[in-house]
């Protein structure tokens, strides 16, 4: 059986946020999408990774033509025009494996070396495994990706003073206002990214308020950080009280709309308001930036802020790439061996009786299997030469000599 590994998707390098958000998947979406996608013709294994910067499918197919059907089905299920594919990318074989390893290692992140991607990668795999969408290849790929990520972080400085998208968002706020201790900041959302934002903001002594659909979670986080709580349903009523509004939730709709912001900016007498929306899909109506005194930054606007981080880490990133490709080579060799498992099993089964009677045959089979495992690409040639050797009267002929003949067999 052929195991064709592939990666398909959109990320911050290939598509803007307004396109990525069309494919963005929550945890609930993943549970809904994976089962029907896994039944697409020719698709053997599948997992789906969706973050603020990427929506990517990692899978194993009988042939790469099957991926086309999978992509069309995904777009159909998401209700997205097929033209979106223009900004997608497709990788196969060792390049696909390298991409997965780089993603898990933080080498493909907007903020090079950020660590949040590891937990997101683990969660994507956990869901796929729970749904029975992964098998021996993606199981191994996942395991090796995490080991590679650990190696990269251990043997390079990629995670030294590691930052995240949340950190970059707060850094943007600091650049805008300078001393944040004089600013009133509203954080909408209390998930992992929002919590990281809150912790960074607290270190900068911002006057912090937290609003979340689940009030108890907002109270819990505010106690931990000695902040204040704003009830989610009172957001519109008090929006004008804040200089910076940082939004990070999993909502599929706009939480902050144009009408809300228009009222708020008037009540502030057009004193500037800054919105930073790191949600995908976006939670702040993009048209609010058209209002006087309103400034809106989304996840893609953080790229410029992240550039400094990229330059400082580029040398360590190159070291990480060396580690990644070394691990890719090992994985591809394992995958090649997986393809010839059937040859090995067939060889041993076919000659089982003769192997038990003839020590010479037993030794030959043992050496053939060893050589196949060393170099899986020679499996077919070695099997043919083994048959010749069994019939050959010269029992003293060594398999090492046989292996040297493979190029000309």
**Which residues carry out catalysis?**
52
Contact, 217 vs 190, CB < 8 A?
A: yes
Q: Most distant CA pair in the chain: distance in Å?
A: 101
Please give the Cα distance from 100 to 291 (Å, whole number): 41
SS3 readout for the chain: CCCEEEEEEEECCCCCHHHHHHHCCCHHHHHHHHHHHHCCCCEEEEEEEECCCEEEEEEEECCCHHHHHHHHHHHHHHCCCHHHHHHCEEEEHHHHHHHHHHHHHCCCCCCCCCCHHHHHHHHHHHHHHHCCCCCHHHHHHHHHHHHHHHHHHHHCCCCCCCCCHHHHHHHHHHHHHCCHHHCEEEEECCCHHHHHHHHHHHHCCCEEEEECCCHHHHHHHHHHHCCEECCHHHHHHHHHHCCEEEECCCCCCCCECHHHHHHHHHHCCCCCEEEEECCCCCCECHHHHHCCCEEEEEHHHHHHHHHHHHHHHHHHHHHHHHHHHHHHHHHHHHHHHHHCHHHHHHHHHHCHHHHHHCHHHHHHHHHHHHHHHHCHHHHHHHHHHHHHHHHCCCCCCCHHHHHHCHHHC
CB atoms within 10 A of CB 89: 15
Peptide bond just before 185 cis, omega within 30 deg: no
């Amino acid at each position: 059986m052929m195991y064709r590994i592939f990666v398909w998707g959109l990320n911050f390098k290939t598509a803007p946020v307004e396109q990525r958000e069309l494919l963005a998947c929550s945890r609930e979406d993943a549970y809904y999408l994976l089962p029907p996608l896994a039944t697409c013709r020719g698709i053997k294994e599948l997992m789906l990774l969706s973050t603020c910067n990427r929506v990517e499918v990692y899978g194993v197919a009988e042939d790469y033509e099957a991926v086309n059907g999978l992509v069309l089905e995904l777009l159909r299920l998401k209700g997205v025009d097929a033209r979106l594919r223009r900004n997608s990318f497709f990788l196969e074989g060792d390049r696909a494996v390298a991409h997965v390893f780089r993603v898990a290692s933080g080498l493909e992140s907007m903020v090079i070396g950020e660590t949040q991607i590891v937990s997101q990668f683990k969660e994507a795999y956990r869901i796929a495994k729970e749904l029975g969408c992964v098998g021996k290849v993606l199981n191994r790929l996942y395991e090796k990706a995490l080991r590679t990520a650990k190696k990269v972080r251990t043997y390079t400085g990629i995670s030294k003073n590691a930052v995240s998208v949340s950190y970059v968002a707060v850094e943007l706020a600091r650049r805008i206002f300078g001393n944040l201790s004089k600013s009133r900041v509203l954080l909408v959302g209390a998930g992992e990214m929002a919590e990281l934002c809150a912790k960074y903001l607290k270190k900068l002594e911002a006057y912090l308020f937290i609003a979340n659909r689940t009030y108890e979670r907002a109270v819990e986080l505010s106690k931990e950080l000695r902040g204040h709580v704003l009830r989610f349903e009172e957001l519109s009523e008090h929006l004008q009280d804040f200089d910076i509004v940082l939004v990070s939730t999993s909502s599929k709709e706009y939480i902050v709309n144009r009408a809300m912001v228009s009222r708020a900016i008037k009540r502030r007498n057009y004193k500037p308001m800054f919105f930073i929306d790191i949600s995908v899909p976006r939670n702040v109506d993009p048209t609010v930036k058209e209002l006087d005194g309103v400034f809106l930054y989304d996840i893609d606007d953080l790229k410029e802020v992240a550039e400094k981080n990229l330059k400082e880490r580029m040398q360590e990133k190159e070291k990480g790439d060396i580690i990644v490709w070394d691990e890719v080579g090992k994985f591809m060799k394992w995958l090649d061996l997986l393809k010839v498992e059937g040859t090995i099993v067939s060889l041993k089964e076919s000659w089982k009786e003769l192997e038990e009677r003839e020590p010479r045959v037993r030794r030959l089979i043992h050496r053939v299997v060893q050589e196949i495992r060393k170099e899986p690409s020679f499996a077919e040639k070695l099997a043919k030469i083994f048959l010749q050797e069994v019939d050959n009267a010269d029992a003293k002929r060594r398999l090492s000599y046989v292996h040297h003949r493979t190029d000309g067999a």
